[in-house]
Homo-oligomer: A and B are copies of this chain.
Amino acid sequence: MPGGLKTDLYELKMAASYLRRRMVADATFSLFVRRLPRDRGYLVAAGLEDCLDFLEGFGFESEDLEYLGSIGFGSADLDAFRSLHFTGEVWAVPEGRVVLANEPLLEVTAPIAEAQLVETAMLNFVSYQTTLASKAARCRVAAGGGPVIDFAYRRTHGLEAASSVARVSAMVGFAGTSNVEAARHWGLTASGTMAHSYIEAFEREEDAYASFAADFPDQVTFLVDTYDPVEGIRGVIRLLQRTRHPGRYGVRLDSGDLQALARTARAMLDGAGLQEVSIFASGGLDEYSVEGLVRSGAPIDAYGVGTRMGVAADHPYVDTAYKLVAFDGRPVMKLSAGKTNLPGAKQVFRDEPGRRDVISLRSEKNPGSPLLERVMHQGRRLRPRPALALARARFESDLAWLPESALRIRGPRAPLARVSEELNRLSQRTLERIRRHSQEPSA
């Protein structure tokens, strides 16, 4: 994916203008989330690896240039684009780490046209994957240790998003995904039961159960709510008592009052001597309903969460920005109402639990360890795409760092990073310089 057209039109116009004026000095852009959505006590960094793939492959193909010529770019612009690749440096928070408001997730330093052109893709990958990873993390936390499976494939915003959902949900501790393509691609555990249509394709529900058990004797999760869940469970019990397969069996409840049905199912199964048959719950679940079920003490062994997780239904985006913070050695910032940002290339220092993160200049040294790592230099990755297990380990470790108040499902309190003295001083100086000069009439 050369990617030259995977951008907003204005990026191309600005890049062309910079190049015509030989503005080739380095610019640093900082990508961060301005404020966390309601009911988010933290975010989980994701999307970086797709960003790095994109940057390594960035360029224009001849058909891209042909199209740009057809919409008004001149031949000098096209010549400049033809040889353009991404030659810059990237510092970033590795995937799986917990991040907070205003902490840079990624900083790009490159000749300004390059850094400008990749804005759209950087924002896209980081915004949606961080949104979805953070939502999935809440589902996993809500389940309190019970396995959670990604069932979102059918209602994500496209197949690409589904693949990302499978990946980032595994990153935050999901036990499997129904998405077969993603399971293969990312090395995840593919997981699946049966649908109502399978039951309906047989004249009698119990014949469907018997057929599926005969075809997959090792493990079956019987879907019991097609017609009447209590009758469905009876059918499963009759089948298992008759056949006495030694497989791993479960029943899936997909509608109705899941708490009450789980208790009924457990009592019926236990009464029939089928204590080892597990109970799986699904059907419109998200972290709020999963937490409710866990708190109720309902005897549910595992959860399938789908649509609401896979589209982050309660807040399907985060308020990301990719802001110029330095150009040609000069720190910059914007002052737009409600949208100011801090100037300069940055680093975030994270200390032990209970201490606030410190957002500082990249050149500073502060207590704790730095969140951003240099991951790309001169347009090349400094390490291959890391295994997902590494991101998952980072998430587990940062999860343990977070205070309980941030982990709450309802009404969490997100920790706030503080800004270092040095960064505050730079911010003040930059502000004064802008106020003095930037809106003076031209000479």
Contacts and interface: CB of A to CB of B under 8 A. Distances in A.
A200 interface: yes
A331 to B, nearest CB: 10
A192 interface: yes
A14 B437 contact: no
Number of copies: 2
A209 to B, nearest CB: 9
Interface string A211-229: 1100110100000011110
A27 interface: yes
Interface stretch (A139-147, A305-313, A395-403, A416-424): A305-313
A374 interface: no
Given A197-B323, A201-B112, A124 B162 contact: yes
A336 interface: yes
Interface residues of A, number: 116
Interface in A271-309: 307-308
B337 A256 contact: yes
Interface of A: 5-14, 16-18, 20-21, 23, 27, 29, 67-68, 71-72, 112, 116, 119-121, 123-124, 127-128, 132, 151, 153-162, 164, 178-181, 183-184, 190-201, 203-207, 210-212, 215-216, 218, 225-228, 231-232, 234-235, 238-239, 254-257, 307-308, 311-313, 315-317, 320, 322-324, 327, 332-339, 434-435, 437-442
Give the 5 A-B residue pairs with the shortest CB-CB distance, closest first.
A9-B192, A10-B192, A157-B157, A256-B337, A197-B324
